[in-house]
C-alpha cells in the first residue's frame, strides 16, 4: 500500500477560529506540516484537538481562518472531493454497526472509488491483514474488542490511500505491540509520502513518529517544533508543566 | 335465546362464512392486494422523500414536507379520498375511464406517505450524528451518506412501525368504497360488510378479518425475520427462538440467573 | 334468560330497560331516518314513536351503521331496529320483522341531457346505488352490476363527476337531489318498490313484535300514519295494493296540511 | 357543469359549514376528545406493556404479546369494536348502563395498544446494548434499567411514529358509531357525515376535517418541540428555526457550502 | 470521598471460562486481588481483558468457574446487589446520552442509593470537581471531548462508593496530566481500602499503580506478580516479547 509520492501535499492551518455557541473551542490555530511529514498534536483534554482535525477536513466549517493543501485554500473547493484526499480516524472510531468489518472497509472503495467488488475486497483484506484482523472480516463491529475496532477504523481510512491522514488518538485502545505495529505502518506511509496529523497523548509515541510536535492548550497552539526541542527543551511554562506529568 | 349462543351465531356462523368465502377469495382478496400493494409501494417511496425533505437543511424542503404531513394526516381519510376522487374524476375519466382504483390508490398512497414519512423520519433522526461524520469523512456526499449509511440504519430501527402502517393500509383500502365500486371491484371488507347488511349477521365481516390476518401475520413475521437478520448480520444459526428479539438481554445472562 | 334482570311482570316485552324502547337507527338517511336539530326523526322514527306511545313505551334512539344494526338488534343491544328495513328472506334468518308499515318508489336520477328515459334502458349502463338499500337489491337482482357507494352524497358525486350514468334512488331523495342540483340532475322515471319495510326485533321476542304490530294498527286507525305519510312524502300516491300494518284496519285519508299542523 | 365549480360547491360550501359548526363545537369536539384522549392514555400504557413483554427474555411473555399484536392489528377495527361492544354489552349494561363509550374506549385502546406496542418496541430495541450494560453496571435491575435508561431513549426515538398513532386514534374514534350513539354522543366525523347526508354536499365533512387539523397540527408540533428539547437537553435558545430537526446536518456546515 | 476500610474486600477469579459462540474468549482465568490492593491487567488487544471485567460483575455469566468476594462466591447472589458493590468504568464509557453530565452521575445515587436530590447533587459535584468537570455539569455527553467523557464515566462509578472498582482502559483518552490526576485519585482510593482491577495498555501507568500485574493472552493469565517482577524479570517468553515492544 505505498503512496504515490508525486501526489504528496503539504498542509497548512491558518488562524482557525471556531466556537460551539459561547464556547470558543479554537481561537486562532496555526499549524504547518510539510509534504510527507508527520505532525503530532498533544495537549490537555478539551483543548480542541479533535475539533481541529474536524475543521481540517471540513466536517466542521471554521468560523474564521483557512486550511491550505499545497498552499491552496480548501474552503473554496468541494468538501467531498477534499475528504477523499484527506482520510480520518475518529477517536470514537465511528464504524458502521450494520455492516461487517469487511464491508466497512470496502464501502467507500466500491461507492466512491468505484472499484469492482473483487478489487475492493482484495484491497480491504490486505489492509485488514496489516492490522491483524482478517480473521474478523465477517464480524460486526459490535462484536469486536476496543482495540480491534480501532484497527478497523485505521484500515478503513488507509484503504482509500488518501494524501493526508488525520489520526485522532489513533492508538488509544492499542496495546504496546499494536502501537509498534501501527508505528511501522505509519513509517511506511510517511516514507511513501503521506502527510499526517496525529493527535496523541502518548508522548513516547509522539517522540517516535513526529517530524513536528504541536502543543495545544485552550484552542491555540502554544508551541510547535521538532520532537527533541519540544520534549527536551520546552519553552512555554504551560508545556513544561504538562510534560512534567508524564509517567 | 341463550345470549352467548346468539353472540356466537352473530360472529361465528360457519354457514354465512362459507357462503361469503368464494367471493372473498376470487374478488375480495385480489382487489385488497392490488389496492394495498400499490399504495404501499407508492406510499413508502413518497414517505421516504417526505422524511428526507423533513430533515433537510433547506427550509424550502422542510416546510412543505411539514405542511403536507400535517394536512394529509389530519384530514379524515374519507374526506381526502373523496376530495381526490371527486376532484380528479374528470381527469381520471379521460385517462382510464370510470375505474375508481387509480384515484383510490393515489389517495391511499398520499395519505400513507404522510404517516410513513414520519416513521422513517423518526428512524433516520435516531441515528447518531457520528455515523454521518464517519461516512462523510470517507468522502461520501450528504446524499450518498444518507443513502448508504444513515437511512439503512434508520429504517431498520422502525421496521415494526412501518409494518403497522402497511397493515393499516391493507385495511384502509376498504375506503376506496367512497368512490363507488361495482361488485367485482369490492375488496374484502366491503364484501364482508355487504353480507352483514343483507343478512344482519356479522360472520362475513369476521371472515374478512381472518383474511386480513392471513395477510398481516405473515407480513409481520417476514419483516421481523428480515429485521433480525439485518441486526445480527447473518441468518440466525440454529434454534433462534430464545435469542430473537432479545438484544437487550445481557449476553450470557440468559441462563439460570435471569432477572 | 334474556339479559334483563327484572321479572316478566314489569318488563313484559323483555326490554333492556323496562318502559324504554331502545331503537337502533341511522342518522344519515333522510327522509326515512335522520337527525334534525339533535332529534332523531324521519317517517320511520316518528311513526315508531307514535306506535310505542300506544303501548306505553318511551323511545330512545341510537344511531349506528346499517351493517351493524341488525346484529345488535338480535343481540339485544337494541330492542328494535328502525331504518326502513326491507323484509327479505336473508334478514328473516337473523331477526324477526313486524308488519310492513311503508313502501317505496324508486326514482331514476340522471345527469341533465342524458338519453336514459326508463328503468328498462339501464342494462349496460353504469348505475349507482347506495349499498345495502332496496335499490341495491333491485339493481343486483336485475343483473345491473351497480356501482355501490356508502351514502346518497356518494351517488350524487358520481353523477356530477360523470363516473355514473344513472342513480336509482328512493323517489323522495331523487326528487330532492334533482331539485337541489340546479338543473344538473333530472329525474327520468319512477318505479314502485317490491317489498314493504318493517321494524326488526330480536328473534323470538314475540311479545314485543306483537305489541308493535298492535300499536301500528292503532296509529293507522287513528290517522297518524296517514298524517306522517303526507308530512314526509307530500304528493306521493299510495299504491292501490299496499296495506300497512296487519291489513285489517281501514286507512283514513290523509288530513289536510293545516289539520296535520294542528295535531 | 364546470368541474371546478362542482368540486368547490361540494366541499367548500360555507353555508353548510356554518350550519354544522355549533354542533361540532358543543357536541362533536368534546366527544372526540373524550374518546381519543382516554383511548390514547389507556392504549399507550397497554402498548408499553406489550412492548416490554415483546422484548422480554421469557417466551411466556413474548408469545402472548406477539399473538395479541397480530390479532388486534389484523382484524378490521369495525369487527373488533363490534365484537367487544356486543360481546361485553351484558356486562357493560350492569356496570354503566347502555352508554357505549366505556366499551368503545376499551376497544379503541385495545386496538391502539397493538400498534403502539410495535412502535415502542422498535424504539426500545434500537437502543444500543451498551446502554443497558451501563445501567446494570451501576446496580440497576433489568426493570429499573429499562425504565430509567432504555425506555426513555427508545420512546423518544419514535415519538413521531407515536404521534401518527394518536392521530389515527383521533380519527378512529368515529368507529364507536358502530355501537350506536344517541345524538349527544356523536363525535366530529359522525356529525359531519350526518350533515353531509341532510345537505347533500360534503362541506360538513370537510369542516370535521378542519377540526381534526386543529387537534392534530398542534399535537404534532408540541410533541416535536418536546422531542427537540429532549434531544438537545435544554429549551432551544434563540431562533431555533434553522437548527431544528437538523441533527444530521454537520454542525457548522450549514453555511455557504451546503450539499 | 474516602472509603470505609472496614468494608474493603478481596477479589478472586477462579478458572473462569467463557465463549461467544465458537470463539472461546476466556479459557480458565485465575486472578487474586487482596483487600484494598490494585491489580493491573495487561495484554494484547482481543485477549479477553474487557470480557474478564464483565464476568467479574456478572454482566456476562461465565460458562464455568467462579468469582469470589472475600472468599464468598458471587454467583449465588443477586447480581444487582453485587453490582452495587462492584463499580465499573467501561472502555467505551457507556454514558447516558439523553441526560446531562450531572444527571449521569446522580442517577444511581438517587434511584439506587435513594439519596435525596440535593445530597446526590452534592456528591456528584464533588466527584466532578475531582475530575475537573464541574463546568460541564449541564452539558450532554455528546458535547464533550473524549477525555471529558471518560472522566464523567469515572466520576459516575466512583460516586457510588463501591468496594471494588473495575476500570477498563480507564485512562485511554486522558492526557498525561489527567492520568496523573486519576493516578492520585486511585492512590486515595487504594489507601481508602478500595480493591481495584485496572485494565490498561500503558505500562508506565501499570507500574505506578499496581500491587499486582497480570498478563493476559488468548483468554488466560499467563503470568502474574509484583510490577517489578513482571516488568523487570518477566519469565514467560510471550510476556517478554510483549514488553519488548513498549516504546
Ligand atoms: N459481544 C461479543 N460477541 C462476540 N464476540 C465478542 C463480543 N465481545 C468481544 N468479543 C470477542 O472476544 C474477544 C475478546 O474481546 P475483549 O473485548 O475482551 O478483548 P480485550 O482484551 O478487551 O481487547 P482490547 O484491548 O482490544 O479492548 C475478541 O476477539 C472479540 O472479538
Ligand atoms: N458537538 C459539540 N458541541 C458543543 N461543544 C463541543 C462539541 N464537541 C466538543 N465540544 C467542546 O469543545 C471542547 C474541545 O473538544 P475537543 O473534542 O476538540 O477536545 P480534545 O482536545 O479532542 O480533548 P480530548 O483529548 O479529551 O479528546 C470541549 O470543551 C468540548 O466540550
Ligand atoms: Mg479528542
Ligand atoms: Mg477491551
The reply to whether D161 falls in a domain is: yes
Span D203-207, average pLDDT: 89
Residue D247 distance to chain E (closest CA, Å): 12
Whether residue D214 lies inside any domain: the answer is yes
A173 CB within 6 A, ligand 1: yes
Interval A87-99: pLDDT, tens = 999 988 999 999 9
- Res A2 pLDDT > 90: no
Q: What is the pLDDT of residues B34-52, one digit of tens each?
A: 999 999 999 999 999 999 9
pLDDT tens, position by position, B95-134: 887 788 999 999 999 999 999 999 999 999 999 999 999 9
Whether residue B244 is predicted with pLDDT greater than 50 in this model: the reply is: no
Of the candidates D259, B243, B154, the one whose C-alpha atom is nearest the C-alpha of residue A96 is B154
Q: Residue B162 pLDDT > 90, yes or no?
A: yes
More confident residue, D193 or A42: A42
Q: Which of E204, E215, E212 is nearest to E239 (CA)?
A: E215
Give just the sign of the alpha carbon dihedral B42, B45, B48, B53. negative
Cα angle, residue C27 at apex, residues C22 and C31 outer, rounded to 5°: 105
Which ligand 1 atom is at minimum distance from the Cα of A175? 25
> What angle do helix axes B159-172 and D101-125 make, rounded to 10 degrees?
140
- D138:E80 CB<8 A: no
Residues B217, C46: Cα–Cα separation, whole Å: 48
Could A92 and B130 be called an inter-chain contact, meaning their C-beta atoms sit closer than 8 Å?
A: yes
Are B43 and B234 spatial neighbours (Cβ–Cβ below 8 Å)?
no
What is the DSSP annotation of B186-213? Answer: --HHHHHHHHHHHHS-THHHHHHHHHHH
Q: How far lies B68's CA from each of A245, B74, B122, D223, in Å? A: 60, 10, 17, 17
DSSP state of B24: I
Give the model's pLDDT for residue D233. Answer: 66
Alpha-helical runs (H) found in chain A? 49-56, 79-85, 101-111, 117-130, 146-158, 176-191, 203-209, 227-232, 237-244
Cβ atoms within 10 Å of E117's Cβ, excluding its own: 10
- Residue the block writes with cell 433516520: B124
Say if B and E touch: at least 3 Cβ pairs within 8 Å.
yes
Instruction: Note whether residue D48 is domain-resident.
Output: yes
Complex ipTM value: 0.89
Least confident of B137-141, C86-90, C198-202, E92-96: C86-90
- In angstroms, rounded to a whole number, what is the distance separating the alpha carbons of residues E247 and E244? 8
CB A184 within 8 A of CB A213: no
pLDDT of residue C258: 42
| Residue D236 pLDDT grade (very low, low, confident, very high; cuts 50, 70, 90) | very low
Residue D257 lies in a domain: no
* Domain with D170 in it: 11-132+150-233
CB A36 within 8 A of CB A7: no
Task: Give the separation between CA C212 and CA C202, rounded to whole angstroms.
Answer: 13
**What is the distance between the alpha carbons of residues A229 and A217, in angstroms, rounded to a whole number?**
18
Distance between CA A154 and CA A170 in Å, rounded? 8
Confidence of residue B87 (pLDDT cuts 50, 70, 90): confident
DSSP state of B138: T
Mean pLDDT of A4-24: 86
Specify the range with the lowest mean pLDDT, choosing from A132-136, C10-14, D2-6, D252-256.
D252-256
What is the distance in angstroms between the Cα of D126 and the nearest Cα belonging to chain B?
6
Strand ranges inside chain E, DSSP E: 11-20, 23-33, 38-42, 64-69, 72-73, 86-89, 164-168, 195-199, 212-217, 220-225
Residue C3 has pLDDT above 70, yes or no: no
Pick from B150-159, C14-23, E178-187: least confident: E178-187
D27-45 mean pLDDT: 96
Say how far apart CA B77 and CA B104 lie, in whole Å: 11
Which of A160-164, B81-85, E100-104 is the least confident region?
B81-85
Q: Are E190 and E183 in contact (CB under 8 A)?
A: no
CA distances from C226 to B67, C160, D178 (A): 56, 35, 33
Contact call for B131 and A96, based on CB within 8 A: yes
Q: Distance of CA E69 to CAs B210, E26, E76, Å?
A: 58, 20, 12
Residue B245 pLDDT exceeds 70: no
Q: Give how many domains chain D has, as a whole number.
A: 1
pLDDT of residue C98: 94
Question: For ligand 2, what atom is nearest to the CA of residue E148?
Answer: 26
Decide if C179 contacts C211 (C-beta within 8 A): no
Confidence of residue C255 (pLDDT cuts 50, 70, 90): low
pLDDT score of B176 more than 70? yes
Q: To the nearest whole percent, how much of chain E has pLDDT over 90?
A: 69
D227 part of contact set with chain E, CB < 8 Å: no
Q: pLDDT > 70: what percent of chain A?
A: 97
Q: Has residue D127 been placed in a domain? A: yes
The region that residue A244 occupies, defined by phi over 0 for left and psi between -120 and 50 for alpha, beta otherwise, is alpha
CA angle E11, E16, E17 (to 5 degrees): 160
Whether D242 has a pLDDT exceeding 70, the answer reads no
Q: What is the pLDDT of residues D207-223, one digit of tens each?
A: 999 999 999 999 999 99
Instruction: List the single residue in A with minimal CA-CA distance to D128.
Output: A142
pLDDT tens-digit series, residues D119-138: 999 999 999 999 999 999 99
| Among candidates D148, D156, D233 on the partner chain, residue whose Cβ is nearest the Cβ of E111 | D148
Q: Could you read off the pLDDT of A20-30 as tens digits, one per residue? A: 988 999 999 99
* B120-148 burial code (b ≥16 CB/10 A, e <16): bbbbbbbbbbebbbbbbbbbbbbebbbeb
Inform me whether the pLDDT recorded for A3 exceeds 50: no
Report chain A's terminal Cα–Cα distance, integer Å: 35
Global pTM value: 0.90
Between the CA of E51 and the centroid of ligand 1 the distance, in Å, is 6
Q: How high is the mean pLDDT of chain D?
A: 85
* Positions of E strands within chain B: 181-182
Q: How many Å apart are CA A151 and CA A172, to the nearest integer? A: 11
**Cross-strand pairs, C128:** C147, C167
Place of cell 468494608: E7
- When the pLDDT of each residue in chain C is averaged and rounded to a whole number, the result is 85
The residue to which cell 450470557 is assigned: B252
Q: Is pLDDT at A222 greater than 80 in this prediction? A: yes
Contact assessment for residue A193 and residue A34, using Cβ atoms and an 8 Å cutoff? no
pLDDT tens, position by position, C25-84: 988 887 888 888 888 999 999 999 999 999 999 999 998 888 888 888 988 889 999 988
**How far does the centroid of ligand 4 lie from the alpha carbon of residue E91, in Å?**
6
What does the mean pLDDT of chain E come to?
A: 90
Q: What is the pLDDT of residue A6?
A: 53
- The string of pLDDT tens digits covering residues E109-154 is 999 999 999 999 999 999 999 888 999 999 999 999 988 999 999 9
CATH number at residue B101: 1.10.3720.10
- pLDDT above 80: residue C4: no
Distance of CA D92 to the CA centre of its chain: 25
Report if residue B193 sits inside a domain. Answer: yes
Inter-chain CB proximity E43 and A175 less than 8 Å? yes
The gap from C-alpha C210 to its chain's centroid, in whole angstroms, comes to 20
- H-run or E-run covering D49: helix D29-55
pLDDT band at B15 (very low <50, low <70, confident <90, very high): confident
A107–B contact, CB cutoff 8 A: yes
Does residue B252 lie in a domain region?
no
Q: Name the helix (H) or strand (E) containing A89.
A: strand A86-89
The per-residue pLDDT for range C115-154, each reduced to its tens digit, is: 999 999 999 899 999 887 888 888 888 888 888 888 888 8
Other beta carbons less than 10 A from residue D234's beta carbon: 11
- For residue D138, the 8-state DSSP code is T
Q: What backbone torsions phi and psi does residue B248 show, to the nearest 5 degrees? A: -90, -5
**Cα B143 to Cα B101: distance, rounded to the nearest angstrom:** 35
Per-residue pLDDT, B243: 35
In a domain? residue D256: no
Query: Residue E72: which H helix or E strand, with range?
Result: strand E72-73
Instruction: Give Cα E23 distance to the centre of its chain.
Output: 24
Which residues fall within 8 angstroms of residue E237, CB to CB, at 6 or more apart? none
Residues in chain E: 247
Three-state SS at E141? helix
Q: Do the Cβ atoms of B250 and D133 come closer than 8 Å?
A: yes
Q: C256 or B141: which carries more pLDDT confidence?
A: B141
The stretch A186-211 carries a mean pLDDT of: 87
Using CA atoms, how far residue A218 sits from A44, A52, B116, C29, in Å, is: 8, 12, 46, 78
Chain E contact residues (CB < 8 Å to A): 20, 42-46, 49-50, 91-92, 143-148, 151, 168-169, 172-180, 183, 201-205, 207-208, 241-243, 245-247
> How many whole angstroms separate alpha carbon C220 and alpha carbon B19?
40
Amino acid at each position: 500500500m505505498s503512496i504515490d509520492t508525486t501526489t504528496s501535499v503539504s498542509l497548512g492551518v491558518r488562524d482557525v477560529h471556531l466556537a460551539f455557541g459561547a464556547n470558543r473551542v479554537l481561537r486562532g490555530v496555526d499549524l504547518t506540516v510539510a509534504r510527507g511529514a508527520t505532525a503530532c498534536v498533544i495537549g490537555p483534554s478539551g483543548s480542541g484537538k479533535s475539533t481541529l482535525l474536524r475543521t481540517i477536513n471540513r466536517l466542521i466549517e471554521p468560523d474564521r481562518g483557512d486550511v491550505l493543501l499545497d498552499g491552496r485554500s480548501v474552503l473554496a473547493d468541494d468538501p467531498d472531493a477534499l475528504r477523499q484526499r484527506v482520510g480520518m480516524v475518529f477517536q470514537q472510531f465511528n464504524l458502521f454497526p450494520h455492516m461487517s468489518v469487511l464491508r466497512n472497509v470496502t464501502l467507500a472503495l466500491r461507492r466512491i472509488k468505484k472499484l469492482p467488488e473483487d478489487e475492493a475486497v482484495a484491497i480491504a483484506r490486505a489492509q485488514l491483514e496489516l492490522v491483524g484482523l482478517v480473521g474478523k472480516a465477517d464480524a460486526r463491529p459490535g462484536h469486536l474488542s476496543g482495540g480491534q475496532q480501532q484497527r478497523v477504523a485505521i484500515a478503513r481510512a488507509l484503504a482509500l490511500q488518501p494524501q493526508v491522514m488525520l489520526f485522532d488518538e489513533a492508538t488509544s485502545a492499542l496495546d504496546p505491540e499494536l502501537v509498534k505495529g501501527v508505528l511501522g505502518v505509519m513509517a511506511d506511509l510517511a516514507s511513501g509520502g503521506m502527510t499526517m496529523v496525529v493527535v496523541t497523548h502518548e508522548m513516547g509515541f509522539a517522540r517516535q513518529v513526529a517530524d513536528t510536535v504541536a502543543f495545544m492548550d485552550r484552542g491555540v497552539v502554544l508551541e510547535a517544533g521538532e520532537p527533541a526541542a519540544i520534549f527536551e527543551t520546552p519553552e512555554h511554562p504551560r508545556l513544561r508543566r504538562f510534560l512534567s506529568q508524564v509517567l | 335465546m341463550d345470549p352467548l349462543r346468539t353472540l356466537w351465531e352473530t360472529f361465528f356462523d360457519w354457514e354465512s362464512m362459507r357462503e361469503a368465502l368464494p367471493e372473498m377469495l376470487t374478488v375480495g382478496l385480489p382487489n385488497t392486494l392490488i389496492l394495498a400493494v400499490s399504495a404501499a409501494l407508492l406510499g413508502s417511496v413518497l414517505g421516504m422523500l417526505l422524511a428526507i425533505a423533513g430533515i433537510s437543511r433547506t427550509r424550502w424542503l422542510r416546510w412543505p414536507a411539514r405542511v403536507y404531513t400535517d394536512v394529509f394526516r389530519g384530514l379524515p381519510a374519507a374526506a381526502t379520498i373523496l376530495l381526490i376522487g371527486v376532484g380528479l374524476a374528470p381527469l381520471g375519466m379521460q385517462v382510464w375511464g370510470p375505474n375508481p382504483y387509480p384515484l383510490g390508490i393515489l389517495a391511499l398512497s398520499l395519505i400513507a406517505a404522510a404517516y410513513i414519512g414520519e416513521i422513517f423520519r423518526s428512524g433516520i433522526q435516531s441515528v447518531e450524528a457520528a455515523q454521518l461524520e464517519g461516512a462523510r469523512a470517507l468522502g461520501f456526499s450528504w446524499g450518498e451518506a444518507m443513502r448508504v449509511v444513515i437511512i439503512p440504519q434508520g429504517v431498520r430501527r422502525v421496521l415494526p412501525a412501518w409494518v403497522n402502517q402497511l397493515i393499516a393500509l391493507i385495511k384502509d383500502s376498504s375506503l376506496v368504497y367512497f368512490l363507488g365500486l361495482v361488485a367485482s371491484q369490492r375488496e374484502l371488507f366491503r364484501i364482508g360488510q355487504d353480507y352483514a347488511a343483507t343478512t344482519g349477521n356479522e360472520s362475513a365481516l369476521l371472515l374478512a378479518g381472518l383474511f386480513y390476518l392471513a395477510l398481516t401475520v405473515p407480513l409481520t413475521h417476514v419483516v421481523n425475520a428480515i429485521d433480525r437478520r439485518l441486526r445480527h448480520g447473518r441468518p440466525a444459526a440454529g434454534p433462534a427462538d430464545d435469542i430473537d428479539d432479545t438484544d437487550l438481554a445481557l449476553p450470557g445472562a440468559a441462563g439460570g440467573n435471569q432477572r | 334468560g334474556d339479559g334483563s334482570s327484572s321479572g316478566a311482570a314489569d318488563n313484559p316485552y323483555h326490554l333492556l330497560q323496562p318502559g324504554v324502547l331502545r331503537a337502533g337507527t341511522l342518522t344519515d338517511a333522510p327522509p326515512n331516518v335522520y337527525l334534525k336539530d339533535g332529534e332523531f326523526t324521519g317517517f320511520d322514527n316518528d311513526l315508531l314513536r307514535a306506535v310505542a306511545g300506544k303501548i306505553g313505551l318511551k323511545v330512545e334512539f341510537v344511531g349506528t351503521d346499517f351493517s351493524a344494526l341488525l346484529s345488535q338488534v338480535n343481540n339485544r343491544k337494541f330492542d328494535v331496529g328502525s331504518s326502513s328495513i326491507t323484509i327479505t328472506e336473508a334478514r328473516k334468518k337473523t331477526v324477526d320483522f313486524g308488519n310492513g308499515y311503508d313502501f317505496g318508489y324508486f326514482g331514476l336520477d340522471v345527469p341533465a341531457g342524458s338519453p336514459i328515459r326508463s328503468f328498462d334502458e339501464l342494462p349496460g349502463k353504469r348505475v349507482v346505488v347506495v349499498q345495502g338499500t332496496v335499490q341495491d337489491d333491485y339493481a343486483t337482482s336485475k343483473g345491473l352490476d351497480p356501482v355501490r357507494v356508502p351514502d346518497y352524497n356518494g351517488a350524487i358525486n358520481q353523477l356530477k363527476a360523470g363516473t355514473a350514468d344513472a342513480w336509482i334512488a328512493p323517489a323522495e331523495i331523487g326528487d330532492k337531489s334533482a331539485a337541489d342540483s340546479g338543473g344538473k340532475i333530472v329525474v327520468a322515471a319512477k318505479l314502485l318498490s317490491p317489498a314493504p319495510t318493517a321494524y326488526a326485533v330480536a328473534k323470538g321476542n314475540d311479545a314485543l313484535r306483537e305489541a308493535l304490530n298492535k300499536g301500528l294498527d292503532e296509529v293507522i286507525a287513528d290517522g297518524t300514519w296517514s298524517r306522517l305519510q303526507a308530512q314526509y312524502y307530500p304528493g306521493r300516491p299510495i299504491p292501490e295494493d299496499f296495506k300497512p300494518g296487519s291489513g285489517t284496519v281501514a286507512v283514513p285519508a290523509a288530513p289536510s296540511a293545516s289539520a296535520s299542523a294542528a295535531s
